[in-house]
């Protein structure tokens, strides 16, 4: 197809939501174009090691392998994949326009599977030990640190939830928080402080990570005195929040106060006709591969109904 062709649907983004949307729309005969991204194609699972909680893989599957299987399945049914970034979108008209670094693509419907990204600490060693001790998802990776010293960075409900989950695996869970009290709700904070194998490091921040091959030490700094100390840990879970990848939409679709795309639940329709959203750019609660895939299915079915209604 040339750039003037009006396609049925373009999926912007990949990951479990985007690939699932592509599989369903391809099987419906819509020959979707997937603008999968360049460096981050496949989403957060590309930086996850073994995934043991995705149905159908009792022995577990590596995150990148799972994403590759989904991509192959989408292409098998007729999806076209571009490993490029969408640099701008024009969603207002009846025909939507998706512009990448190398082309302009038009479609009757657009499915936004933009995902979200974990907020990073921005310290030495964080990238080096990602997948080698540093994780951003306790439910994904907690099991691999059974009986080990684990640290959680953060003080909100997300961090407390992660720490409580990890408490069933780690010998000790060290919660590192830069203030002298948790930001989490009282009931969650009380539950955390009652856990016998949880230790909270108040007024502390992680300033460096060290290890040979994998994480071994987190260097802590007291936020009041500046004094530094070493904390031996083999796992560090960063739980300081998420950022949905919605900023480049330029206000074309409605967002909540935190930047997540608002949909007309239970559908995946946005406020713009013909534009649907799925995955972690919508979901700020569950953020699991299987729930993202489920919303990708819903978005595809919603887009199919929309496209078919245009012909009636």
Q: Which residue carries 């194609």 as its tokens? A: 41
Catalytic-role residue among 140, 278, 280, 283 = 140
DSSP code for 121: -
d(CA 187, CA 194) in angstroms, rounded, equals: 11
d(CA 305, CA 312) in angstroms, rounded, equals: 11
Task: Give one DSSP letter per residue of 267-296, joined into a string.
Answer: S-B-SSTTEEE-GGGT-SS---HHHHHHHH
- Three-class SS of residue 243? strand
Q: Which residue carries 């009290």 as its tokens? A: 181
Phi, psi of 243 (to 5 degrees): -130, 110
Catalytic-role residue among 40, 90, 102, 141 = 141
- Token pair in block for residue 145: 């640190």
d(CA 84, CA 301) in angstroms, rounded, equals: 25
Phi, psi of 151 (to 5 degrees): -120, 145
Nearest-5° Cα angle at 24, 137 to 251 = 65
Catalytic-role residue among 137, 280, 283, 302 = 137
297 an active-site residue?
no
141 an active-site residue?
yes
Is residue 236 within 8 A of residue 218, CB to CB? The reply is: yes
d(CA 62, CA 200) in angstroms, rounded, equals: 32
DSSP code for 230: E
Is residue 174 within 8 A of residue 199, CB to CB? The reply is: yes
Q: Judge if the upstream peptide bond of residue 266 is cis by omega within 30 degrees of 0.
A: yes
Catalytic sites, residue numbers = 137, 140-141
């Amino acid at each position: 197809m040339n750039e003037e062709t009006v396609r049925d649907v373009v999926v912007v983004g990949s990951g479990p939501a985007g690939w699932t949307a592509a599989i369903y729309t391809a099987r419906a005969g819509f020959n979707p174009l997937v603008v999968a991204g360049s460096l981050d194609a496949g989403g957060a699972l590309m930086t996850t090691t073994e995934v043991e909680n995705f149905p159908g893989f009792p022995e577990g599957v590596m995150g990148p392998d799972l994403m590759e299987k989904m991509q192959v399945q989408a292409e098998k049914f007729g999806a076209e994949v571009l490993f490029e970034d969408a640099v701008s979108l024009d969603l207002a008209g009846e025909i939507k326009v998706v512009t990448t670094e190398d082309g302009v693509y038009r479609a009757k419907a657009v499915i936004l599977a933009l995902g979200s990204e974990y907020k990073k600490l921005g310290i030495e060693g964080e990238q080096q030990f990602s997948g080698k001790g540093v994780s951003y998802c306790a439910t994904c990776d907690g099991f691999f640190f059974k009986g080990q010293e684990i640290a959680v960075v953060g003080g909100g409900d997300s961090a407390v939830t992660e720490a409580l989950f990890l408490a069933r695996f780690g010998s000790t869970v060290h919660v590192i928080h830069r203030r002298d009290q948790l930001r989490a709700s009282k009931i969650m904070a009380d539950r955390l402080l009652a856990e016998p194998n949880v230790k909270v490091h108040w007024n502390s921040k992680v300033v460096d990570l060290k290890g040979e091959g994998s994480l071994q030490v987190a260097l802590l700094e007291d936020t009041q005195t500046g004094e530094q100390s070493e904390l031996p840990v083999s796992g560090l879970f960063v739980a300081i929040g998420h950022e949905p990848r919605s900023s480049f939409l330029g206000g074309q679709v409605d967002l909540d106060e935190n930047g997540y795309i608002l949909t007309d639940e239970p559908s995946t329709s946005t406020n713009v006709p013909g534009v649907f959203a799925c995955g972690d750019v919508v979901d700020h609660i569950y953020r699991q591969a299987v729930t993202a895939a489920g919303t990708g299915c819903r978005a595809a079915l919603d887009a199919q109904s929309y496209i078919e209604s245009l012909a009636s």
